[in-house]
Amino acid sequence: MEFKKSQELYNKGLKNMVGAVNSPVRAFASVGGNPLFIKKAKGSKITDVDGNSYIDLVLSYGPMILGHRHKKVQKAITKALKSGYSFGASTKNEIKLAKIVCDAFPGMDKVRFVNSGTEAVLSGIRLARAFTGKDKIIKFSGCYHGHQDALLVAAGSGLATLSLPGSKGVPEGAVKNTLIANYNDLDSVKAHFEEHDDIAGIILEPVAGNMGVVTPQNGFLKELKEYVNSKGALLIVDEVMTGFRSKFGGAQELFEVEADITCLGKVIGGGFPVGAYGARNEIMEMVAPLGGMYQAGTLSGNPIAMAAGISTLSELKKQNPYEKFNEVAQIIEVFLLESAKKYGVEITVNRFGSMINPFFTNVHVTNFEQAQTSDTKKFAVFFWEMIRNGVFLPPSQFEAWFLSSAISEKDMKKIMKAIDKSIEAVANM
């Protein structure tokens, strides 16, 4: 397998693009080597500029849940293009997609479409502050909510301390109202409330997909919701990644918890840049033009994105692939564990619905600290061997693999073969 053209494009891109990429994970920094440049995709497959074809388990980090270029989505996009690309005005399809989304999430009466998950979270936090009249926000170590200043933070020296900026260019003042807690640790949340009386809300991924599919343990979400609301604060659930991936709706319903504010993205745009935030009426009526919390966007509700979203969600509801996703993910999990045992490699596998991830550690991973015990050098070997055997994975130990309904039995056999060869390569490193 050759990557000559990808190498050439990478070298050419370095001149006018930062690291030749437009998002850091694409640089392959954590796995070594140069990034692959993609030419096209169809169904379960993605093809790079050198003509190498892979079964795609990245799926644009989640939104291509039906596979690439699904015929019904393609048809909807083509039809929408004939009417125009962007109007900066309201369209009928915004209302249609809004109803589909609100109907799928109990407790969501109104929704506002934006252009990305980052924008949805930024707006959701502003809304929580507007509704409560308080300033501070709690986030969990290892949960990623986009690149806004207030959430680009690293944990401080203790659970009840203010956080420090996790990126250059983020002033300490931007994160002075952000507190860090440990995922799956309610006591770390309580410690902040005992020290501060101006906490507007707490934000988390219901399943943390940016530390590698970490699920809530022992009723954590339900207890968190009850406690946070008892303190007059709101629970903001970031379902940008999990929305419509474990069921038609959100992960919160599976965990029997109802968010005060829900943030969405990925699948609801069918591959186009879309985000959304929604809540019950009394909260959403704080948003302009009904209320005093200002948020706007010229491209919000873009007609092409709305068409793709409506078509994707309509087809997804019709297919109802969630039971099959669980079966496929379980097969992959079992095979990973059996292959690792055969070659004497220590791994732990976490999965949730159509999301799965192996950690190269013998530790049961329930938080970011445990996730960081993974041997990233082993993952890098595993990653490149999977690539050489025709399976495209996220180039990071801490990113979830995603499944699509386009994966066939033939694809599964190829995935199993690739896993076995890749685990063997790790054993022989």
For residue 144, is pLDDT > 90?
A: no
Q: What is the predicted pLDDT for the residue at 166?
A: 66
Judgement on whether residues 175 and 143 belong to the same structural domain of the protein: yes
Q: What residue numbers bound the domain in which 13 lies? A: 4-65+321-427
CA-closest candidate to residue 43, choices 413, 410, 409, 406 = 406
Sign for the CA dihedral angle at 69, 74, 76, 78 comes to positive
Query: Is pLDDT larger for residue 142 or for residue 222?
Result: 222
For residue 161, is pLDDT > 50?
A: no
Judgement on whether residues 281 and 359 belong to the same structural domain of the protein: no
Task: Dump pLDDT digits (tens) for 112-129.
Answer: 999 999 999 999 999 999
Catalytic site residue from 48, 56, 238, 411: 238
Domain edge (last residue) among 303, 318, 333? 318
Judgement on whether residues 334 and 388 belong to the same structural domain of the protein: yes
Query: What CATH number does the domain containing 247 carry?
Result: 3.40.640.10
Using DSSP, state whether 276 is helix, strand or coil: strand
Whether residue 216 contacts residue 184, with contact meaning beta carbons closer than 8 Å, is answered with: yes
Judgement on whether residues 47 and 80 belong to the same structural domain of the protein: no
Judgement on whether residues 307 and 253 belong to the same structural domain of the protein: yes
Judgement on whether residues 128 and 219 belong to the same structural domain of the protein: yes
Q: What is the predicted pLDDT for the residue at 394?
A: 94
Q: What is the predicted pLDDT for the residue at 167?
A: 73
Q: What does the alpha-carbon distance between residue 159 and residue 165 come to, in Å, rounded to a whole number?
A: 15
Whether residue 160 contacts residue 145, with contact meaning beta carbons closer than 8 Å, is answered with: no
Judgement on whether residues 81 and 121 belong to the same structural domain of the protein: yes
Report the share of the chain in percent with pLDDT over 70.
97
- pLDDT, the chain, mean: 93
Tokens 């379960």 correspond to: 44
Is 238 a catalytic site residue?
Answer: yes
For residue 313, is pLDDT > 70?
A: yes
Domain edge (last residue) among 318, 344, 367? 318
Judgement on whether residues 201 and 305 belong to the same structural domain of the protein: yes
Q: What is the pTM of this model?
A: 0.93
Judgement on whether residues 387 and 296 belong to the same structural domain of the protein: no
- Backbone dihedral region for residue 173 (phi beyond 0: left; psi -120 to 50: alpha; all else: beta): alpha
Catalytic site residue from 144, 183, 277, 322: 144
Average pLDDT over residues 9-23: 95
Q: What does the alpha-carbon distance between residue 409 and residue 277 come to, in Å, rounded to a whole number?
A: 37
Q: What is the predicted pLDDT for the residue at 165?
A: 57
Q: What would the two tokens of residue 84 be? A: 């125009």
Judgement on whether residues 342 and 306 belong to the same structural domain of the protein: no
Confidence of residue 261 (pLDDT cuts 50, 70, 90): very high
CA-closest candidate to residue 137, choices 151, 147, 148 = 151
Query: What CATH number does the domain containing 374 carry?
Result: 3.90.1150.10
**H-helix segments, 281-321:** 281-284, 303-319
Q: What does the alpha-carbon distance between residue 329 and residue 350 come to, in Å, rounded to a whole number?
A: 10
Judgement on whether residues 90 and 159 belong to the same structural domain of the protein: yes
Q: What is the predicted pLDDT for the residue at 171?
A: 75
Judgement on whether residues 75 and 60 belong to the same structural domain of the protein: no
Task: Dump pLDDT digits (tens) for 42-51.
Answer: 999 999 999 9
For residue 211, is pLDDT > 90?
A: no
Is 266 a catalytic site residue?
Answer: yes
Domain edge (last residue) among 296, 318, 340? 318
Q: How many domains does the chain have?
A: 2
Q: What is the predicted pLDDT for the residue at 170?
A: 76
For residue 311, is pLDDT > 80?
A: yes
